[in-house]
Amino acid sequence: MSLSGKTAVVTGSTSGIGLAIARALAAEGADVVINSFSDTKADHAIAEEIGKAFSVNARYIQADMSKGDQCRKLIEDAGACDILVNNAGIQHVAPIDEFPVEKWDAIIAINMSSAFHTTAAALPMMRKAGWGRVINVASAHGLRASPYKSAYVTAKHGILGMTKTVALETAKESITANAICPGYVLTPLVEAQIPDTAKEYNMSEDRVIEEVILLKQPSKQFATVEQIGGIATFLCSPAADQITGTSISVDGGWTAA
């Protein structure tokens, strides 16, 4: 498979899952636009490294994904968007009656509404090109709920509904819309939290991974960012031409029950 000549825009992609997806798509020849809100020299350096590593055009474009107009401008500034990966997300944990309103608003805006805005801006480009892929990074929490994560669970359930709607609206075109639903993924952020969590529970790191962090993940193994990247590239392949409006779980069996 070659994605040469395609442009992929990946939101929230200077680290973790988003960065792995951007690199995976670049490895298949796609030009990539990576994004965050920070706009630092390090952000631009990441894009430069991807471009050199895979001999593609890689750019960094700053956009605050909590702002609808900036979400749309990100797509406009990209100039083309054959593959849209909506990955940007944040988290906050609190009981619903104590959940800060500003945190609720931010999570809904970044985790869900941003995908509406980017998709609305990208679909005309995909239609003009005659081909497109919308890939929404949802979560096992798009299929299952957990306490104290009301905004995150709501947003991820909403993303799955939006994915289905986009798929139906584009069903007769060469455009697909699908969601990836990871469970716990070994990102740099999660990896950095393991020692502190082990201290908090007075457990070894191996034990805290199995009994606390991966409590709901039957495989007792983290998914890797590379695995998520591989699924994204598969969804852009000809083998996935008739896969649309669905979600692919990468959760070690979490949602099987």
**How far apart are the C-alpha atoms of 60 and 139, rounded to whole Å?**
25
Nearest to 231 by CA among 11, 89, 3, 25: 25
What distance in Å separates the CA atoms of residue 240 and residue 176, rounded to the nearest whole number?
A: 9
Torsion, Cα 169 235 58 10, to 10 degrees, reads: 60
Type and span of the H or E element at 239:
none
Q: Of residues 148, 152, 184, 201, which has the active-site annotation?
A: 152
Give percent helix, percent strand, percent coil of the chain, each to the nearest 5.
Answer: 50, 15, 35
- Does the active-site annotation cover 152? yes
Contact 143, 98 (CB under 8 A): no
* Catalytic site positions: 152
